[in-house]
């Protein structure tokens, strides 16, 4: 649409890049595909933004929204309840691991992360440890864009315009085994080292000042870093030893993305808090949540106790109704089982690309993968900043889209192509992804 740049300020977008051309405008979706305003079809290889887990065009989710809006369009959760929030909180608590039974609704992921940091600070103030306020997170990790969540985020490029940020953010190494700075010959030893770096950071800062560790089950930014064997087991031990809360940031990794309702279940660790959003409604309405353990609720159950935090649209009745309908789809169609049954096929299909000289690493789990691009497979030499600019923004992003694949070509860290299709995807879509990537990456290599 010619007027898209006149008034619409798009997110994380170089607006000047559309000064001489039209903005791609998506008008319809069905299953694993979307269509633009010119009638062209694209395979949605990113589920929108790691969101549309149940797939596009689910009329039952739209109908659930309409029914709820007609009955009760809005009422706040500030000292009041409404039925869809009550029912959804009960369902989430039943699915969440351990005693994560307390559900605090937000409207998205950044708000959920913000709420988790505020809860950690408030909890320790109310339990006699008021100096515990800092947060440990990993380099290159993305945890959100609000000022607190941005302080937890480990991406300098999206932080510099907004500094100074909230103090207390501490960064430790991530779990990119392909570029392991230590123990590159053993995933187990590397995982132990990366976990111990968290302990060393807590010691450096002073355990009496650190409130929480924020980790994604599979780190998104940088290109899908799975946890090495034993990593989360050791992190849990470290957090217990220093009385530090373990927050599993599952804004992407929950609701089937990794073949379980929660990534913590997939990797066998028990967090104190889970933050979630995105796939909880499959994107049909905005909703997020912080899911906390019973012990974190206890200090707020006194006669005058209150967690002094809230957002106007958190737990919106329509969004909660959509989430309930979405979870009914998950159960009826066994989308979790579908991912588990097909994840090996997805991996093996993407691994066919290893025969291309530009493909250095294929990594991830479930329906969540990153393909790292390199200049030299033997040395693992990566592209410099100017080369990444030409490769990713100058060619790959546009070429992949024109070829019919919507995905992410990103250089937050080393250059990668990220893939996270709707959970309904099967071999036909895997093959289509591989074929488009093969053609476009082959051309990219010829242009280097």
pLDDT along the chain (448 residues), means of 10: 78 82 92 97 98 98 98 97 98 98 98 98 98 98 95 94 94 98 97 98 98 98 97 98 98 98 98 98 98 97 94 98 98 98 98 98 98 96 90 90 94 90 98 98 93
Whether 356 contacts 441, CB under 8 Å: yes
Sequential DSSP letters for 18-31: GTTSPPP-EEEEEB
Structure tokens at 420: 């996270």
Whether 290 contacts 216, CB under 8 Å: no
CATH number of the domain located at residue range(s) 61-332 in this protein:
3.40.640.10
Tell me the C-alpha distance between 362 and 420, whole Å.
13
Element (H, E) at 211: strand 210-215
187-141-222-197 Cα dihedral, nearest 10 degrees: -30
- The pLDDT assigned to 2 comes to 56
- The pLDDT assigned to 164 comes to 93
- The pLDDT assigned to 22 comes to 84
Whether 223 contacts 416, CB under 8 Å: yes
Burial 22-52 (b: 16+ CB within 10 A, else e): ebbeeeebebbbbebeeeeebbbbbbbebbb
Read off the pTM: 0.96
By C-alpha distance, which of 85, 113, 115, 90 is closest to 102? 90
Tell me the C-alpha distance between 190 and 200, whole Å.
15
Fold classification of 335-446 (topology level) = 3.90.1150
Which residues are paired to 26 by β-bridges?
36
Residue whose entry in the numeric block shows the structure tokens 């007609």: 70
Structure tokens at 443: 């051309």
CATH 3.40.640.10 domain locations along the chain: 61-332
- The pLDDT assigned to 114 comes to 98
Return phi, psi of residue 300, to 5°. -100, 5
Long-range contacts of 395-402 (CB under 8 A, 24+ apart): 395/443, 395/444, 395/447, 396/440, 396/441, 396/444, 399/440, 399/443, 399/444, 400/436, 400/437, 400/440, 401/24, 401/42
- The pLDDT assigned to 404 comes to 98
Return phi, psi of residue 314, to 5°. -65, 130
Q: How far is CA 279 from the centre of its chain?
A: 10
A 10 A CB-CB count for 300 gives 17
- The pLDDT assigned to 267 comes to 98
CATH 3.90.1150.10 domain locations along the chain: 335-446
Whether 194 contacts 228, CB under 8 Å: yes
């Amino acid at each position: 649409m010619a007027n898209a740049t006149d008034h619409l300020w798009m997110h994380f977008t170089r607006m000047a890049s559309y000064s001489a051309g039209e903005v791609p405008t998506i008008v319809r979706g069905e299953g694993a595909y979307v269509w633009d305003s010119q009638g062209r079809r694209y395979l949605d290889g990113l589920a929108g933004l790691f969101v549309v887990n149940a797939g596009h065009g689910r009329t039952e989710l739209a109908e659930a929204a309409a029914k709820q809006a007609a009955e009760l369009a809005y009422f706040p959760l500030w000292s009041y309840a409404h039925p869809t929030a009550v029912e959804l909180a009960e369902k989430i608590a039943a699915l969440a691991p351990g005693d994560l039974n307390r559900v605090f609704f937000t409207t998205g992921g950044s708000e959920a992360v913000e709420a988790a940091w505020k809860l950690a600070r408030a909890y320790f103030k109310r339990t006699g440890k008021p100096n515990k306020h800092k947060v440990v997170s990993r380099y290159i990790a993305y945890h959100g864009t609000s000022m607190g969540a941005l302080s937890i985020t480990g991406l300098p490029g999206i932080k510099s315009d907004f500094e100074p940020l909230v103090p207390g953010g501490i960064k430790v190494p991530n779990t990119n085994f392909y570029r392991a700075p230590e123990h590159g010959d053993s995933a187990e030893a590397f995982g132990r080292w990366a976990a111990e770096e968290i302990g060393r950071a807590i010691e450096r800062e002073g355990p009496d000042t650190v409130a929480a560790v924020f980790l994604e089950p599979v780190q998104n930014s940088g290109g899908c870093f799975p946890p090495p064997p034993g990593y989360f087991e050791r992190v849990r031990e470290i957090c217990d030893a220093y009385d530090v809360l373990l927050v599993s940031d599952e804004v992407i990794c929950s609701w089937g993305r990794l073949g379980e309702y929660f990534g913590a279940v997939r990797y066998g660790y028990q967090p104190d808090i889970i933050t979630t959003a995105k796939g909880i409604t499959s994107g049909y309405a905005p909703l997020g949540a912080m899911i906390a353990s019973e012990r974190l609720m206890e200090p707020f159950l006194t006669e005058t106790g209150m967690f002094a935090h809230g957002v106007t649209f958190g737990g919106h009745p329509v969004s909660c109704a959509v989430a309930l309908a979405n979870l009914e789809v998950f159960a009826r169609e066994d989308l979790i089982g579908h991912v588990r049954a097909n994840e090996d096929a997805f991996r093996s299909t993407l691994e066919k690309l290893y025969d291309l000289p530009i493909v250095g690493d294929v990594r991830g789990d479930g329906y969540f993968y990153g393909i790292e691009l390199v200049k030299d497979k033997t040395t693992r030499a990566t592209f410099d900043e100017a080369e990444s600019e030409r490769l990713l923004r100058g060619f790959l992003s546009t070429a992949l889209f024109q070829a019919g694949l919507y995905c992410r070509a990103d250089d937050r860290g080393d250059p990668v192509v990220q893939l996270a299709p709707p959970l309904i995807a099967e071999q036909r879509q895997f093959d289509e992804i591989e074929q488009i990537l093969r053609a476009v990456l082959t051309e990219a290599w010829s242009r280097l």
